[in-house]
Structure 1
Amino acid sequence: MFQLRRSYVALALTAAGLSACGDDTTVPPTATEFEIRVENVSAVYDFTASGVFHTPLGDTQAGPLFPGGIYETVFSAPVGAKLSLATMFGQSNDLFLAPTGDGIPLYDMAGSQLTGDVTGQVLLWDAGTEANQEPGLGADQAPRQASPNTGAA
């Protein structure tokens, strides 16, 4: 009797295991599904100010900045603050100008305001979304691009 019950239990477990392995009720993952996790790469800071500078110095209307042109903005910032900005390099596929890290320091270690030319702290970055073409000549650059997001990746 014991041997028979053990056989029925083994048979029942085997049947349950085999039915659980069936693939008729599972949906295989598609190749287009993926997971993205976005994380901050620096500490969280409160924004003390934000804004747009889009009118070249001496002009009365917003417009692009051409060689030799100047955008100017005025703002207040507490000791320890840094300036972070990003601007597109217009006649390119996906290049932009921005500082590294948390931004350009506005104060020295003693808390004194820094002044001077910060051009060397603003770098040219490639977003990597489009293949690069010669600046100002590429068919996939504004204003020659047929429509947004149509350049070769």
Structure 2
Amino acid sequence: MSRRIVISTVAGAVLLAGTGAFALAYAGNQPPVLTHPTARYTAPGTDRAGSLTFTTDVTASSGVKSVKVLAWPATSSLAKKAPTAKEMTHAESALCTPSGAHTAHCTYRVTVSRTDADTSPRGQWHVTVLATDKDGHTTLDTKAANFTV
């Protein structure tokens, strides 16, 4: 084998290894990704409480640390200025269970009483989500899902 071919092969291998290492380092710095966010509201009945259930899958290369959830009416003051990441740190947490190597399935569920339903604004509501990975990267989706009361 000629010396030129050997040098070219070695140079190509070094280039590919460097590109792969960069890609892995870059992928490790990505914020969490939310997929399949859904919200389901069930009004209370005469003999049972209602509920709000929000679910999403969260993918984070370092693992999912927390998912915070806040439901708010579209007619509220939040319509002009959506919640910030800092404000969302005080929201309620979703329960997350691993569903893959770097993915967790997260569920937030709250019971809705008849009194809560009667005093809540009617119409469209939004769900804001703050996902944080174990490296501290965050993703804020101010309208991850919608539902109607």
Could you say whether these structures have the same fold, taking a TM-score greater than 0.5 normalized by the shorter chain as the test?
no
TM-score range, shorter chain: under 0.3
TM-score normalised by length of structure 1: 0.24
TM-score normalised by length of structure 2: 0.25
Query: Larger % of helix: which?
Result: 2
Query: Larger % of strand: which?
Result: 2
